[in-house]
Chain A
Amino acid sequence: SQTIHQWPATLVQPVGSPLSLECTVEGTSNPNLYWYRQAAGRGLQLLFYSVGIGQISSEVPQNLSASRPQDRQFILSSKKLLLSDSGFYLCAWRTRDRNYGYTFGSGTRLTVV
């Protein structure tokens, strides 16, 4: 069966520090991968998605970047965090079949102080 791993679960980082969040998927190949952010009490905001290794599409211009160095690995990064980067970051995957929904990882709660 397919599983999605996301770490760390919580993170407290000072303003101006770098960020690296990692997500890996097991039990499938060629998944579509997604990074979402959910601010407190808000809806899900799609940040990046990837349909293959090295292929990244950005949905919202911001202080973040994403990379997909391997088929089942998706990384969210920042060189310098801002206070507004605080939130709940979620990785998700889906098969290439667009009729299926997304499966989410357990999320990383990031607090920038």
Chain B
Amino acid sequence: QKEVEQNSGPLSVPEGAIASLNCTYSDRGSQSFFWYRQYSGKSPELIMFIYSNGDKEDGRFTAQLNKASQYVSLLIRDSQPSDSATYLCAVIASNTGKLIFGQGTTLQVKP
């Protein structure tokens, strides 16, 4: 079992729709969770972090965390073509403190 798992996609949604990106992790002791956005040919950019169970909203982005189910998600409302990118889920390992990345989900928003 991979430490952080994501569906590689691509996930295709029409412009204006809600995009839902999902991530599961294996380390029950993890406390900190992150979402990065990576445009093609560019470096990853941190867009959201969440530490507590529940939802955290920032503009069009909502991160959701369920520690009991070991599940993190990212919702993007009113998706725009400019949101087309690979989204990386990352979790801080409880034993080492290192950030463990998933393989990423490619999102395509079609006009």
Contact A101 B102 (CB under 8 A): no
When A44-B88, A99-B32, A99-B51 are in contact, do A104 and B43 touch as well, CB less than 8 Å? yes
Contact A43 B103 (CB under 8 A): yes
When A98-B92, A101-B34 are in contact, do A107 and B97 touch as well, CB less than 8 Å? no
Q: Which residues of B contact A42 (CB under 8 A)?
A: 103
Contact B104 A107 (CB under 8 A): no
Contact A105 B43 (CB under 8 A): yes
Q: Which residues of B contact A94 (CB under 8 A)?
A: 99
Contact B101 A44 (CB under 8 A): yes
How far is B102's CA from A98's CA once the two chains are assembled, in angstroms? 18
Interface size class of B (residues with CB under 8 A): 20 to 34
Q: Does B107 count as interface, using CB distance less than 8 angstroms?
A: no
Q: Does A74 count as interface, using CB distance less than 8 angstroms?
A: no
Q: Which residues of A contact B51 (CB under 8 A)?
A: 99
Contact B43 A101 (CB under 8 A): no
Contact A43 B98 (CB under 8 A): no
CB distance from A29 to the nearest CB of B (A): 19
Q: Does B49 count as interface, using CB distance less than 8 angstroms?
A: yes
Chain B residues 80-111 with CB under 8 Å of chain A are 88, 90, 92, 97-99, 101-104
Q: Does B45 count as interface, using CB distance less than 8 angstroms?
A: yes
Q: Does B46 count as interface, using CB distance less than 8 angstroms?
A: yes
Q: Does B42 count as interface, using CB distance less than 8 angstroms?
A: yes
Q: Does A111 count as interface, using CB distance less than 8 angstroms?
A: no
Chain A residues 84-112 with CB under 8 Å of chain B are 90, 94, 98-107, 109
Q: Does A35 count as interface, using CB distance less than 8 angstroms?
A: no
Contact partner, A49, options B92, B98, B104, Cβ 8 Å = B98
How far is B30's CA from A99's CA once the two chains are assembled, in angstroms? 10
Contact A103 B46 (CB under 8 A): yes
Q: Which residues of A contact B41 (CB under 8 A)?
A: 109
Q: Does B53 count as interface, using CB distance less than 8 angstroms?
A: no
Q: Does A46 count as interface, using CB distance less than 8 angstroms?
A: yes
